Structure 1
Amino acid sequence: MALKSFDELFKLDLTDEVAKRPVKKNSNLTLDYLEWANCIKLLHENGAETVKYGMNKNENNYPCFFNHNGEAPFVSVWVEIDGERYEEDYPVVNGIYVVNQPNQLDINKAKQRGFVKAVAINTGLGLGLWIKEEQVLNNDKEVQKEMNKDEGKSLNDQITKLFAQSLQKVGTKEHLYDMLQSSKDEVSKLYRSNDHSAKKILIGQLEVILNDNVNE
């Protein structure tokens, strides 16, 4: 028996199969999600003969990837259903919070969620849950506020790290501020602000300074 069509799996009633999780710390707002084991069970119940999944490894043979600053961790999951292979990248998060220094448990949870999402996108099974999740995260003001706060902390951490590295390269703070065409007071004010766009510009400037100095 072949796996049911995308439309059939998308319309499958998952009422008795889903679990709930809070969207953020101490929140009464919850989201329905399909656990990886139930996902495998449902695939087999609806026509799949074989279901396999695993993780791609980075250059150090480790199952987690990071951006060029060693941040924004994500996993790369592969899924094979009856010989059809799919891949999906999934961030290492705890609810809406990025896990900047993930342990093995964090990585395994991201692997499982990445598997479920890959199945949803490519087969339709559970896709409605992901659509609903996107709607909640995009429309709930408290969630948006918390996500904005979390991003702000991440950007500040990047600025702190890159500023220290750039300072080592150029020698003095005065020289570094001149290269940034800014001042200590302006950078401090930006650091305390909620202007994420300006923070990203500063991060880009610091990265250019680092790369220029590295290549000299």
Structure 2
Amino acid sequence: MALKVWSEMRKIDVTPYCEERDGMTYLNWAKCIDLLHENGAGKVYWIPIPDEKTGSSLRMVEKEFTDSKGNTNRCYETRILVVIDDNKYEMQSPVMNGSNPVKDNSMSQQRVWNSMCRSFVKCVAIHTGLGFNLWLKEEMQPFSNVIPAEDEKATRAQISTIKNLCKKHKLSADRWLESNNTTWDALTAVNAGNMLNAIKKKYGDD
């Protein structure tokens, strides 16, 4: 038995197995492997490819970046080898905190692991079609530097990020909404962007 062709794998609905974090949709890596086996794959696994210089699973550029609060970060990435039956693929991905780069003060083994897991699921989507529609939807989002229309509604990702940041920094999002005479349902993309910028400017770690 062989893995189904790309067009058939793409039709599989993976949304029942997904969860949302930081305004983004994730397919669990273990369930991804399970679905591949259910659809004909005999061998599926992935392993980290260590950095040649350090032997670490975490790769980084030499240059450091420092924000206005003195927090530093670099461009961090992970690389993995994905094996599906007789096929081998390599995938390199950034280490991210939702849609934001990870800074040194919040780097952890968990973030490195999450990067590799997400890299695996994306690699599978590219080469087999499984879960590809999730990535198509994500990659088709408007670029963040596009100026939104005055009455354009805030995206689900913006709202989720605001709530997470407010919870992290013990801020009252509801009080901010009240002071701006708005609600979550009526929140515009412009106001959401202003709020996110204000939080990030003040705390500088997201």
TM-score, normalised relative to structure 2: 0.63
CA deviation profile, 1:98-132 (whole Å, cap 9, x unmatched)? 11222211101101001111111111111110111
Q: What is the match of residue 28 of structure 2?
A: 35
Q: What is the match of residue 201 of structure 1?
A: none
1:67 counterpart = 2:61: yes
- What is the CA-CA distance between 1:15 and the residue it aligns to? 3.1
How many percent of aligned residue pairs carry the same amino acid? 36
For 1:111 and 1:65, the matched residues in 2 are separated by 12
Structure number, greater radius of gyration: 1
Unaligned runs of 5+ in 2: 65-73, 149-153, 159-188, 202-206
Q: What is the match of residue 8 of structure 2?
A: 8
For 2:25 and 2:112, the matched residues in 1 are separated by 21
1:20 counterpart = 2:20: yes
For 1:94 and 1:127, the matched residues in 2 are separated by 22
Describe the shift of the 1:137–1:77 C-alpha distance in structure 2 as closer, same or farther (beyond 3 A). Answer: farther
Partner SS state of residue 138, structure 1: coil
Q: What is the match of residue 164 of structure 2?
A: none
For 2:21 and 2:141, the matched residues in 1 are separated by 13
For 1:54 and 1:137, the matched residues in 2 are separated by 33
Describe the shift of the 1:125–1:33 C-alpha distance in structure 2 as closer, same or farther (beyond 3 A). Answer: same
Query: Contact between 2:10 and 2:133, CA under 8 Å: does it hold in 1?
Result: yes
Comparing both structures, which one devotes a greater share of its residues to strand? 2
CA deviation profile, 1:25-82 (whole Å, cap 9, x unmatched)? xxxxxx4321111101100111110111011111110011112315110101110000
Query: Contact between 1:72 and 1:100, CA under 8 Å: does it hold in 2?
Result: no
Unaligned runs of 5+ in 1: 24-30, 154-216
Alignment of 1:69-108 (within 5 A): 69-70=63-64, 71-101=74-104, 102-108=107-113
Aligned residues: 146
Q: What is the match of residue 128 of structure 2?
A: 123
For 2:131 and 2:142, the matched residues in 1 are separated by 17
Describe the shift of the 1:91–1:137 C-alpha distance in structure 2 as closer, same or farther (beyond 3 A). Answer: farther
Query: Contact between 1:73 and 1:100, CA under 8 Å: does it hold in 2?
Result: no
- What is the CA-CA distance between 1:14 and the residue it aligns to? 1.8
